[in-house]
């Protein structure tokens, strides 16, 4: 069923296999940037553990011979609920960077969300891989002119939604990166950031300082008013903020703690999701990310009311192992696992999952 990359001695069957293989390939500095989280990495670990604290409640004899993973997202039917999370500096994982990721996206009908801190401009990606369904992730710079220009270019080049990331008013404290002495790329190599003043050799934290720490809900409302694209707010963890996103005109929220890279000991997306869905899912689309590593995690996220999920690090591990093909395999593995889980959980249609399919796990949490 699963193909083995030509140069690999072991078949890579799961996302965990790709993670292990990437750990062997990546240089220590790049690995610390990709795999690490903030300070003690409590939230980083809990993001994975939180999905495992949920048990599935499968239904039998419902007829699962025909399965349909499609979901409705921003009013559009999508073939499946996976998206590629925005991650910066993808050329640290593989020389082909975001272009390779876009090829994987196009091959699997997966939306790629391009980071403001990508090593490819929005127009270069659109020209190189026009078939990739794409959203643009915006870090809002203090210089609003630069941010408006980025949005205009995304609109012009076929990006279908704008994801404004709001959980980086300042960079998180990443001790793993500091110990490994991580340097990302030269500021000039990131065209989008260079316009906001990036230059010379910079650390990820230096890039973080370009982001406006005083971004507010009024800014969100302005982007909603000015942009023809639907606006999603990424980095929401409370029902209070989800309701503010509704009040300021957002079309969606991405429940996320930035992969455990910002404020350590915040709650996981899995734990934040139910209250946010209850408060706001009837008024906007709720998506979730963080620690999704198995098809069963996707089923649980949908059961709790998410419309779709974003995958961060596993894509970078796939890229590191085998470029575009590796990223594509990672998505295909997750899609195969999702299909299997839908059948065995007795919910052949992904969009029919609901909260009756999950319960708090009766087994002890051994994650700590």
Ligand X SMILES: Cc1cc2nc3c(=O)[nH]c(=O)nc-3n(C[C@H](O)[C@H](O)[C@H](O)COP(=O)(O)O)c2cc1C
Please give the positions annotated as active site: 258
Which x/- pattern, by CB under 6 A, does the window 75-94 give for ligand X?
Answer: ----------xxxx------
Calculate the CA 227 to chain-centre distance: 22
289 Rama sector, left if φ>0, alpha if ψ -120 to 50, beta otherwise: beta
Among 80, 94, 234, 294, binds ligand X (CB under 6 A): 234
Q: Does 172 bind ligand X (CB under 6 A)?
A: no
- CA distances to 48, 87, 177, 229, 287 from 225, rounded to whole Å, are 36, 26, 38, 10, 22
Closest residue to ligand X, based on beta-carbon distance: 312
Distance CA 224, CA 247 (A): 11
Least distance between ligand X and beta carbon 119 (Å): 11
Q: Which residues pair with 39 in a beta bridge?
A: none
d(CA 325, CA 156): 28
Containing H/E element for 28? helix 28-35
Is residue 290 close enough to count as binding ligand X by CB under 6 A?
Answer: yes
CB atoms within 10 A of CB 60: 8
CB of 346 to ligand X, least distance (A): 27
# of chain residues touching ligand X (CB under 6 A)? 24
Binding string, 9-38, against ligand X, x = CB under 6 A? Answer: ------------------------xx----
Quote the DSSP letter at residue 201. Answer: B
Q: Are strands 76-78 and 71-73 parallel, antiparallel or unpaired?
A: antiparallel
Q: Which is nearer to ligand X, 318 or 347 (CB)?
A: 318
Smaller CB separation from ligand X, 167 or 347 = 167
| Nearest-10 Cα torsion for 157, 158, 164, 168 | -50
Strand bridging mode 111-114 / 134-138: parallel
Q: Any contact of residue 147 with ligand X (CB under 6 A)?
A: no
Kindly tell me which residue out of 32, 101, 120, 137 binds ligand X, with binding defined by CB under 6 A.
137
C-beta of 262 vs 347, nearer to ligand X: 262
Element housing 83 (H / E): strand 82-84
Instruction: State in angstroms the smallest separation of the CB of 296 from ligand X.
Output: 15
Does position 311 bind ligand X by CB under 6 A?
A: yes
Residue with smaller CB distance to ligand X, 98 or 322: 98
- Phi, psi for residue 140 in degrees, rounded to 5: -90, 120
Among 176, 300, 313, 329, the residue binding ligand X under the rule CB under 6 A is 313
Interaction between residue 184 and ligand X (CB under 6 A): no
Q: In angstroms, give the least distance from the CB of 219 to ligand X.
A: 16
Nearer to ligand X, 52 or 347 (CB): 52
């Amino acid at each position: 069923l699963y193909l083995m990359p030509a140069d690999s001695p072991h078949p890579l069957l799961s996302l965990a296999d790709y993670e292990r293989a990437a750990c062997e390939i990546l240089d220590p500095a790049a690995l610390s940037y990709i795999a690490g989280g903030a300070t003690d990495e409590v939230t980083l670990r809990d993001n994975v553990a939180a999905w495992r604290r949920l048990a599935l409640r499968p239904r039998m004899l419902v007829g699962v011979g025909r399965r349909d993973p499609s979901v409705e997202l921003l009013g559009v039917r999508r073939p499946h609920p996976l998206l590629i999370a925005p991650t910066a500096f993808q050329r640290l994982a593989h020389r082909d960077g975001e272009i390779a990721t876009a090829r994987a996206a196009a091959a699997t009908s997966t939306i790629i969300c391009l980071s403001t801190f990508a090593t490819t401009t929005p127009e270069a990606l659109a020209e190189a891989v026009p078939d990739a369904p794409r959203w643009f992730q915006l870090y809002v710079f203090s210089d609003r002119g630069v941010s408006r220009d980025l949005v205009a270019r995304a609109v012009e080049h076929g990006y279908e939604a704008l994801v404004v990331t709001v959980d980086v008013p300042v960079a998180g404290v990443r001790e793993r990166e500091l110990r490994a002495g991580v340097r990302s790329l030269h500021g000039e190599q990131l065209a989008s950031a260079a316009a906001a003043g990036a230059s010379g050799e910079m650390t990820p934290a230096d890039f973080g300082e370009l982001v406006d720490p005083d971004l507010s809900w009024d800014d969100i409302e302005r982007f909603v008013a000015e942009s023809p694209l639907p606006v999603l707010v990424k980095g929401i963890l409370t029902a209070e903020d989800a309701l503010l996103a509704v009040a300021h005109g957002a079309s969606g929220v991405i429940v996320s703690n930035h992969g455990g890279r910002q404020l350590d000991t915040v709650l996981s997306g899995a734990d934040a999701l139910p209250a946010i869905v209850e408060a706001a899912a009837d008024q906007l689309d709720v998506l979730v990310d963080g620690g999704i590593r198995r098809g069963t995690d996707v089923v649980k996220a949908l059961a709790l009311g998410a419309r779709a999920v974003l995958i961060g690090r596993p894509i970078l591990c796939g890229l590191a192992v085998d470029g575009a093909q590796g990223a594509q395999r990672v998505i295909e593995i997750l899609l195969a696992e999702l299909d299997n889980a839908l059948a065995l959980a007795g919910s052949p249609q992904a969009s029919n999952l609901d909260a009756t399919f999950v319960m708090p796990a009766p087994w002890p949490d051994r994650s700590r």
